[in-house]
Structure formats: C-alpha cells, structure tokens
Amino acid sequence: MPRPRQVEASAIALRLQVAGPQSAQLLATALHVDRSSISRALTLSALAPQLVRLGTTRGTTYALRRPVRGVGDTFPVRRVDAEGRVRDWAQLVALHGGWQLVWADPGNAPAWAGHILGVGGHADGFPFFLGEARPQGYLGRAVGRALSLALNLPPDPRGWSDDDTLIYLQAEGDELPGDLVVGDVPLRRLQTCFLNPPPPLPEGERAERYPALAAASASFGTPGSSVEGEQPKFLVTLAAGDVRTPVLVKFTDVISTPTGRRWADLLAAEGHALALLHAQGEAHATPRLLDAADRRFLEMPRYDRVGLHGRRGVVSLRALHEAFGGSDGSTWPAAAANLHARGLIDLAALRSIRLRHAFGTLIGNSDMHFGNLAFFLGDTLPLRVAPAYDMLPMLWAPTPGQAAPLPTFAPVPPLPAELPLWNEAAAWATEFWQRVEADPMVSREFRARAREAGAHVTRLRTHFAGT
C-alpha cells in the first residue's frame, strides 16, 4: 500500500518536540510518509518561522525552536575584549532536543568549536562556557537565595536547570567572571556602568570599609558574582591615584573565635603560596593581607579583568572536562593530559598543571577539585592555563565540630617519571613551610604545624634525591 503524500505540520512539530533534531528520512519513517512529503511540508507549512535547518547537505537535520519561559528562543552572546569594547560573538538558540550556536563570524568560529558542536552548530547540552557562569560555592548559594523569588528560580543554584541558568544570565549577567554577556538587558546595564562607573573604594579606606562589605556579603551575597569556593568573599574595585583595580577579597570570621583563628592562619598561608607561585610565573600577583575589625582579609587582583573595563574569557577545568570528556578525571594532571591529547592545551600548560598539583599536594591542599583550576578561553588553540588561585593547605581547614583539626599530613610519594617536576615543586613547598613557620601573623599553634609539615617534606626530598 503506497504511503500518503501529505502530512500535517502538527505531526512534524510533535515529532521534533519529542525526539529532537531529525533528518527528513527519519521524520518520513516515523510518520509513515515518503520523504518528498516531509520536504514539501517543511517548506510550505506554518512551521517555517520556528524551524531550524542544521546543515546544508543531504545529511541535513531539522529542529524546532523552543521558547524559554516567555523570554524568547534566541539569545545574543557578546564578548567584552581587553579594552572594554563589546562585539557580537554568537547567538544561542534554544531547541527541542538541545541548543544551537550561530557564530557572528562563521568564517572565524572558535578553533575548539568543532570539538563540541555537531552539524549546523548543534549541541546536545548547554554550552560549557555558559553553564560555567552558574553561581558557585559560598557566594553562589547566597546569590541563589537573594534572587530565587525575583527570578522564580530554586534557591540553591546546584539544582538549577539549563533554562534556570539562562534566565539568570539574562537578568544578572553583566558582572560575571570572564568576558561574555548574554542578552540585551545585562549588556545595556553594563554599558551604563561603563559610562557612569560606581565610585571605587580608595586604598586608604580599606580597613574601614572591608568589615562592612564582609558583613553585607555574609548576609546577602553579591548578585551578579559567581566566584567559586567555600571561603566567604566579596568583589570590589580599588582606587590608588588614577589606577583602578578590580579585586577579589576573602575574609574570615572574627579571629577571636577558634574557627576564625584557623581561617586567619590559612589565609596567611594562601598569601605565601600565591606569592611563591607568582615568583615562578604561576600566579597573577602577590596577594595582600589586612587585619581589621577582628577579621582577616586576603586581597587578590582579578585576572579576568584588565583595567577598569577590559575582560578576559575564563573557563574551569571542570567545564572543559565535562565538555570534552576523558576516561580519567581523578586528578588535575590526568584530566589535563586528556585535554593535551585532544590538542586543547600544549605541553607548557600540561607541565604547569603538573607542577601546581605536586606543589598543592606538598602543602596539604586537599581541595584541588576541577573548579579550582582554570584556563583563558579565547577563540584560538591551545588554551592557556590561567593563574593559580585557591592554593592553600585545606587539609587543616575547620570542619563541623572541629575548628582546629589535626589531620595526618602524608603526601603521596612521586613515581619515577614524576621526579623531575616533583623535586622542583618540593623545593617550592619547603620554602612555603619555612615562610609560614616564620610569619608573625600566623598563630603559634599553626606555626608548629608548619614546622612539622616542612620537616616531612624535607625527609621526602632527602629520600628521593638519590632515586
């Protein structure tokens, strides 16, 4: 019996909504009509305005646009460059069964685009560089609570869907990490801020103003910021003469409490770790410590900002690992080796990551998760590893019911192939522990921990020096 020659547009629409992108042949088979009937229906039907053609050859597939909560189905993505200039970069199209990225300059799509996008710019999941903007960590949860009612979102961003994240980006995406802005509303707000920037905080007022900023951040969070990590923090722009510097500031509870005292020690240790890494070209700058109103503050210039208006794109190892896959994601070096094998990073970046991981292991950084390593995200390959951050001896961080734990410090010994880099990192770690032990801003109790840890690293160096 011959197949019918006509098919209703509603039947095609339902199929695309349920099954996602489909070729004309798959649609014909599913709807029991011949392929020419599908092609004719797709050309002439009322579906045309919502229909997306993925590809231009015989293997073309078709998809249907999907409106996202009344705010549209197509979202402009702009990039802010190092000079603060804004340019069109891409359009994000919500589809039934995925997303489509349409590059503003198709002839100059990012070099990594082919690794993650299918025919016609189709992606099964939310683009990794936008999902990365979901609020994270301590500030992220505060942001979620502050915005949940206004934006009708779950209070904890860890439970957000891709659509939830897109709604957030549309509403609050003018001051996020990195260099991308999604939608017209946050872009207009950003342009207004560029023309009429809020007054910066004068350097001389840090001791007076930081405690109030810490209290506000602890109570409400900072909408628009998405800095990862569990340590409380806030963002501010400092003024020293004519120089404006955006900084990230971590802070402790009151130092007179056991928990506050331990975090004060850890922030001092983080300052030493980043100063050492900065001297080796692995960190953006040497951080500054400030004690005020019985709190300790650690201040770092933001490496994703250039001057007052310029920005740099960043993406975490977690986002890259999830986007580009890999069988081994247990450690930074293993995940980085996968990125190198795929041509996404070069040997210099891989070496840097291995060094940082070895150093972190030897200073007791037990929190080297994939959100604590980042890369600059440009349009070219290989991607450059971003400066180190959140590098501190988290093994001694306060835990519920234990403000000053005494864990066992037992770094994993190096394998023979790891020895050259391990020895280099071990020399850094030895100096790190010596600096912590000699620092008068560190408590006597934690200086004793530093002395013990430094002695342990020295024994390891002595043992493996001859192997």
Average pLDDT, the chain: 90
pLDDT at site 199: 93
- The mean pLDDT value for 227-238 works out to 77
Q: What are φ and ψ of residue 210, in 5° steps? A: -60, -40
* CA 214/CA 315 separation, integer angstroms: 26
Whether 399 is covered by a domain: the verdict is yes
Nearest-CA neighbor of 282 among 361, 124, 375, 388?
388
Task: Please report whether residue 311 resides in a domain.
Answer: no
Q: Is there a domain that residue 357 lies in? A: yes
The more confidently predicted of residues 132 and 82 is 82
pLDDT digits (tens, 9 = 90+) for 82-96: 999 999 999 999 999
pLDDT exceeds 90 at position 34 = no
How far apart are alpha carbons 421 and 39 in whole angstroms?
60
Is the preceding peptide bond at 382 cis, omega within 30 degrees of 0? yes
Burial class for 27, CB neighbours closer than 10 Å (0-12, 13-18, 19+): buried
- Judge whether 174 lies within some domain: yes
Closest CA to 367 of 62, 138, 77: 138
Question: What would the pLDDT profile of 247-297 be if each residue is shown by its tens digit?
Answer: 999 999 999 999 999 999 999 999 999 999 999 999 999 999 999 999 999
pLDDT at 227: 44
Q: Are strands 233-240 and 201-202 parallel, antiparallel or unpaired?
A: parallel
Torsion of CA 321, 327, 331, 336, to 10 degrees: -50
pLDDT digits (tens, 9 = 90+) for 164-177: 999 999 888 898 89
> Confidence band (pLDDT; 50, 70, 90) for 119?
confident
Domain co-membership, 292 together with 350: no
Whether the per-residue pLDDT at 224 is higher than 50: the answer is no
Quick check: is 309 in a domain? no
* Single residue among 49, 64, 79 that ends a domain in this structure: 64
Same-domain pairing of 178 and 192: yes
Q: Which residue stretches of 4-136 are H helix?
A: 9-19, 24-31, 35-44, 113-116, 128-131
* Same structural domain, 269 and 338: no
446 lies in the same domain as 359: yes
Q: Could you report the per-residue pLDDT of 35-94, keeping only the tens digit for each?
A: 888 877 777 567 778 889 998 776 789 999 999 988 899 999 999 999 999 999 999 999
Q: 276, 303, 330 — which closes off a domain?
A: 303
pLDDT confidence bin for 222, thresholds 50/70/90 = very low
Of the three residues 170, 196, 222, the one that is the final residue of a domain is: 196
Q: Is residue 76 one of the residues assigned to a domain?
A: yes
Q: Report the CATH number at residue 284.
A: 3.10.28
pLDDT band at 226 (very low <50, low <70, confident <90, very high): very low
Same domain, 120 and 211: no
447 and 349 within one domain: yes
Q: Are 72 and 59 part of one and the same domain? A: no
Around 458, how many Cα atoms within 13 Å sit in the side-chain half-sphere?
A: 11
- Single-letter residue type at 390: D
- Tens of pLDDT, residue by residue over 414-433, are 999 999 999 999 999 999 99
Which residue pairs from 433-442 have beta carbons closer than 8 angstroms and sit at least 24 positions apart in sequence?
A: 433/363, 433/457, 435/272, 435/276, 436/268, 436/269, 436/272, 439/268, 439/272, 441/264, 441/268, 441/289, 441/291, 442/265, 442/268, 442/269
Residues 16 and 90 grouped into a single domain = no
Q: Which residue has the tokens 């802005």?
A: 181
Q: What is the pTM of this model?
A: 0.91
Catalytic residues: 367
Question: What mean pLDDT is predicted for residues 302-325?
Answer: 92
Q: List C-alpha distances in Å: 158 to 54, 165, 291.
A: 32, 10, 33
Is the domain of 325 the same as that of 410? Answer: yes
Q: How confident is the model at residue 147 (pLDDT cuts 50, 70, 90)?
A: confident
Question: What is the structure's pLDDT at 449?
Answer: 98
- Whether residues 81 and 19 share a domain: the answer is no
Query: Do 373 and 433 fall into the same domain?
Result: yes
Span 370-398, mean pLDDT? 96
Residue 112: pLDDT above 50? Answer: yes
Percent of the chain with pLDDT over 70: 94
* pLDDT for position 1: 47
Which structure tokens are listed for 28?
């014909």
One domain for residues 109 and 20: no
pLDDT band at 151 (very low <50, low <70, confident <90, very high): confident
Cα 107 to Cα 110: distance, rounded to the nearest angstrom:
9
The span from the CA of 85 to the CA of 191, in Å, is: 10
Q: Which residues pair with 100 in a beta bridge?
A: 93, 122
Provide the CATH number for the domain around residue 27: 1.10.10.10
pLDDT of residue 141: 73
116 within some domain: yes
How high is the pLDDT of residue 184?
Answer: 93
Mean pLDDT to the nearest integer, 314-328 = 86
Model confidence at 225, in pLDDT bands (50, 70, 90)? very low
**Does position 223 have pLDDT exceeding 70, yes or no?**
no
Number of domains in the chain: 4
**What is the average per-residue pLDDT within 137-149?**
75
Total residues belonging to the chain: 467
| Range of the structural domain that residue 45 is part of | 9-64
Q: Rounded to an integer, what distance in angstroms lies between the CA atom of residue 206 and that of residue 261? A: 21
94 in a structural domain: yes
